[in-house]
Amino acid sequence: MLIIKTIAEMRQFVSEARKNNRSVGLVPTMGYFHRGHLALMEKAVQQCDVVVTSLYVNPLQFGPAEDFAAYPKDLERDAKLAESVGVDVIFAPTDREMYPAGFDTTVSVGDTITGKLCGLSRPGHFTGVATVVTKLFNIVQPDKAFFGQKDAQQVLVIKRMVQDLNMNVEIVPVPIVREKDGLAMSSRNVYLTPEQRQAATVLYKSLQLAQEQVKKGQRDGAEICRLVKEKINSEPLAELDYVEIYSYPELKSIDKINGAALLAVAAKFGLARLIDNIILEA
């Protein structure tokens, strides 16, 4: 497996692969790999001849009070993990390579998708994401790119952008990978103390509670959100950010669930802001 740090070398590698008629898969990440990341890479290895995983903690998608400086990093460990699942290249550019002096262009996806959930809680976040993903698509020119459903809103942002800007790449969503007790895997879980780690299981439990309610016939979105909030607030170490339901995949406001709906939650446990979601089907 190669570790490539410059855009020029990355382009060179991809042009060689293309000359040999090999399909290229891209898995964009911020590193500090866990089984969620590896599931994306495994799917990419199944579907593409050559797999590039980008590893870049993108400053543009972090707010000033967020954890950019503290974000966990371990390139050596990540390289071993990526290699173990058959990744061909880790693309790990520097900030100067990605945002040289004078950089002054961003990509922003409209409010229908970005004006709610994490887009509201983290102003500018999705512009940072759309901009870096556009750059990665332009550098790697993948046939397919793989994104985790854990960031369900992000998948919708990227799909909207690809469609609207006629980007020639297929977006492949990958289901959420969870710990045994249901906690969604996240690089940010390392911030949790043992007590917070235990408390954080309330997120998935609250989503399961909602699913049970829907199975029993509950269709009232506000009532489901109320129950989920109550459940999360019953955990003293949880600091709730949002609990919301939207139609899926349109992300339109709904009163009643009929068809697919996205229930998304965000809460802080100490330093870790964690998100989770489930698609409810009436």
Q: Is the dihedral of CA 153, 156, 161, 167 positive or negative?
A: positive
Asked if the peptide bond before residue 249 counts as cis, ω within 30 degrees of 0, the response is yes
Whether 125 is catalytic is: no
- With respect to ligand AMP, which residue has the nearer C-beta, 61 or 213? 61
Contact yes or no for 235/242 (Cβ under 8 A): no
CA distance 187 to 68: 12
- With respect to ligand AMP, which residue has the nearer C-beta, 18 or 182? 182
- With respect to ligand AMP, which residue has the nearer C-beta, 27 or 238? 27
Shortest reach from residue 21's CB to ligand AMP, in Å: 27
Shortest reach from residue 277's CB to ligand AMP, in Å: 11
| Nearest residue to ligand AMP, scored by beta-carbon proximity | 148
Query: Where on the chain is the footprint of ligand AMP (CB under 6 A)?
Result: 29-30, 36-37, 39-40, 147-148, 150-151, 174, 176-177, 184-187
Among 24, 37, 135, 147, the one annotated catalytic? 37
- With respect to ligand AMP, which residue has the nearer C-beta, 154 or 196? 154
Shortest reach from residue 146's CB to ligand AMP, in Å: 7
CA distance 200 to 8: 42
Contact yes or no for 9/90 (Cβ under 8 A): no
- With respect to ligand AMP, which residue has the nearer C-beta, 148 or 221? 148
Shortest reach from residue 41's CB to ligand AMP, in Å: 9
Q: Is 127 left (phi over 0), alpha (psi -120 to 50) or beta?
A: alpha
Q: Rounded to a whole number, what is the distance in angstroms from the first to the last CA of the chain? A: 45
Shortest reach from residue 270's CB to ligand AMP, in Å: 18
How buried is residue 268: exposed, middle or buried, by Cβ count under 10 Å (0-12/13-18/19+)?
Answer: middle
Q: How far is CA 147 from CA 130, 131, 240, 241, in A?
A: 13, 15, 25, 23
Catalytic residues: 37
